[in-house]
């Protein structure tokens, strides 16, 4: 697609700084976000997780069959991808430590239409975690506890900020409810995710994604081969998707089959497939939760742009 340069895409750095100084919601969001980071980190350390430093460039990244522009850099004639997610690195990481996490910066050059969603940036951070030999339910259970722990502590520490920004915020009840994509489509139609989020008053799990809708690395359900052993968490009150995750494919033949099914080129996964062919990959499950979206939800903010400094809104230029 040709990118049209528009006049309004000029960066106005002074305007940006003045906005930060005038509008205290930026400062408030950063206070809450700093606690989200600290609380999540403590929670995972207590559960025996090891924090890994994130990878920004690699010869391989998430294929992410979504509508985003490619982001590559040339280095001495070689091609590096900028991380869209650390899924492949996590599958290797769990061979070194069983339980790992990273606050991973992701670059996804989203189309400018996504600016209206209120929940898309092109440069965001996800708390990305993976556990060796875990099942889907283990990760869902862990994330319910993490979300409850973070929200409970934030409500206790900052009652005034929550009253000011998101007075209807509640500590969710465990277990969160679950609905399969098939069931959700039957009840709500094709726009099921939006409707589900708008109707919900507590976070809700969407499970069993159709195989053609997701990436090759989410594990195929052997008992229901047209679906995956994966999940999304949907925030209530219309805040949309919070988490994606699932069990992973780790067997060479199955990975090859899934890459082909997706219509992807096997050569692009050479480095990864070599490891899989040697039999090094192990069963695992994991997920990623967007930090800016978590901040937006907790404060009930209209747009994700408020949740960080130097936010990059799809289609706009910014410092
Ligand atoms: P994914 O694996 O693509 O679902 O990404 C993991 C999580 O990162 C999502 O569930 C969101 O919370 C967050 N996320 C994904 N894309 C974006 C985006 N463009 N802007 C902000 N957060 C995002
Ligand atoms: Mg997702």
Q: pLDDT (tens digit, 9 = 90+) per residue, 186-238?
A: 999 999 999 999 999 999 999 999 999 999 999 999 999 999 999 999 999 99
For the chain, which domains are there? 6-307 (3.30.930.10)
Check pocket membership of 121 for ligand 1, CB cut-off 6 A. yes
Strands 177-180 and 204-207: parallel
- Ligand 1 atom showing the smallest separation from residue 108 Cα: 19
Q: pLDDT (tens digit, 9 = 90+) per residue, 114-135?
A: 999 999 999 999 999 999 999 9
The mean predicted confidence, pLDDT, of the chain is: 95
| Dist. CA 228–CA 242, nearest whole Å | 18
Closest-CA residue, ligand 1 atom 11, reads: 290
> Per the structure block, which two tokens stand in for 5?
């340069």
Cis peptide before 175 (omega within 30 of 0): yes
pLDDT in the model for residue 67 = 85
Check pocket membership of 242 for ligand 1, CB cut-off 6 A. yes
Cα 75 to middle of ligand 2, angstroms: 30
Cα 106 to middle of ligand 1, angstroms: 9
Strands 123-132 and 177-180: unpaired
CB half-sphere exposure, 118, CA atoms < 13 A: 14
- 8 pLDDT tier (thresholds 50, 70, 90): low
Closest-CA residue, ligand 1 atom 12, reads: 290
- Mean pLDDT over 256-277 rounds to 94
Closest-CA residue, ligand 1 atom 4, reads: 244
Check pocket membership of 126 for ligand 1, CB cut-off 6 A. yes
Q: pLDDT (tens digit, 9 = 90+) per residue, 131-185?
A: 999 999 999 999 999 999 999 999 999 999 999 999 999 999 999 999 999 999 9
Closest-CA residue, ligand 1 atom 2, reads: 244
Check pocket membership of 61 for ligand 1, CB cut-off 6 A. no
Closest-CA residue, ligand 1 atom 15, reads: 290
Per the model's pLDDT, the better-predicted residue between 3 and 120 turns out to be 120
Nearest alpha-carbon partner for 40 in 85, 91, 97, 101: 101
- 73 pLDDT tier (thresholds 50, 70, 90): very high
Cα 39 to middle of ligand 2, angstroms: 23
Most distant pair of Cα atoms in the chain: their distance: 58
Closest-CA residue, ligand 1 atom 16, reads: 120
pLDDT in the model for residue 126 = 98
| Dist. CA 17–CA 6, nearest whole Å | 22
- Ligand 1 atom showing the smallest separation from residue 121 Cα: 20
Handedness of CA 265, 270, 271, 274 (dihedral sign): positive
pLDDT in the model for residue 253 = 98
Per the model's pLDDT, the better-predicted residue between 264 and 140 turns out to be 140
- Ligand 1 atom showing the smallest separation from residue 128 Cα: 6
pLDDT in the model for residue 2 = 53
Residue listed under structure tokens 């706009």:
316
- Ligand 1 atom showing the smallest separation from residue 243 Cα: 10
Nearest alpha-carbon partner for 28 in 164, 131, 224, 170: 164
| Dist. CA 151–CA 126, nearest whole Å | 17
Check pocket membership of 243 for ligand 1, CB cut-off 6 A. yes
pTM (2 d.p.): 0.96
Q: pLDDT (tens digit, 9 = 90+) per residue, 52-70?
A: 999 999 999 998 877 899 8
**Residue of 65, 87, 115, 126 to test ligand 1 pocket, by largest number of atoms within 8 Å of CB:** 126
In this model, does residue 291 exceed pLDDT 70? yes
Check pocket membership of 90 for ligand 1, CB cut-off 6 A. no
């Amino acid at each position: 697609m040709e990118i049209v340069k528009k006049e309004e895409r000029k960066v106005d750095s002074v305007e940006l700084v003045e906005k930060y100084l005038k509008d205290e919601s930026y400062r408030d969001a950063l206070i809450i976000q700093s606690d989200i980071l600290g609380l999540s980190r403590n929670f995972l350390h207590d559960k025996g997780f090891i924090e890994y430093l994130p990878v920004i460039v690699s010869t391989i990244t998430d294929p992410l069959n979504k509508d985003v522009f490619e982001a590559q850099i040339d280095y001495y004639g070689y091609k590096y991808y900028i991380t869209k997610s650390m899924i492949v690195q996590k599958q290797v990481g769990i061979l070194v430590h069983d339980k790992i996490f990273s606050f991973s910066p992701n670059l996804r050059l989203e189309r400018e239409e996504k600016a209206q969603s209120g929940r898309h940036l092109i440069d965001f951070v996800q708390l990305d975690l993976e556990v060796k030999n875990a099942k889907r339910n283990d990760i869902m259970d862990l994330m319910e506890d993490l979300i409850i722990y973070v929200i409970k502590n934030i409500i206790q520490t900052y009652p005034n900020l929550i009253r000011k920004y998101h007075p209807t915020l509640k500590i969710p009840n465990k277990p969160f409810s679950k609905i399969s994509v098939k069931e959700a489509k039957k009840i709500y139609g094709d726009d099921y995710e939006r409707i589900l989020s708008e109707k919900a008053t507590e976070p809700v799990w969407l499970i069993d994604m159709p195989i053609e809708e997701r990436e090759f690395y989410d594990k195929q359900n052997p008992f229901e081969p047209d679906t995956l052993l994966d999940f999304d968490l949907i925030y209530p009150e219309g805040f949309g998707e919070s988490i994606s995750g699932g069990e992973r494919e780790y067997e060479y033949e199955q990975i090859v089959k899934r890459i082909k099914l997706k219509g992807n080129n096997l050569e692009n996964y050479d480095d990864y497939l070599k490891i899989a062919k040697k039999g090094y990959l192990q069963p695992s499950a994991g997920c990623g939760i967007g930090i800016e979206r978590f901040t937006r939800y907790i404060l009930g903010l209209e747009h994700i742009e408020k949740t960080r400094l130097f936010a990059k809104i799809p289609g706009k230029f910014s410092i």
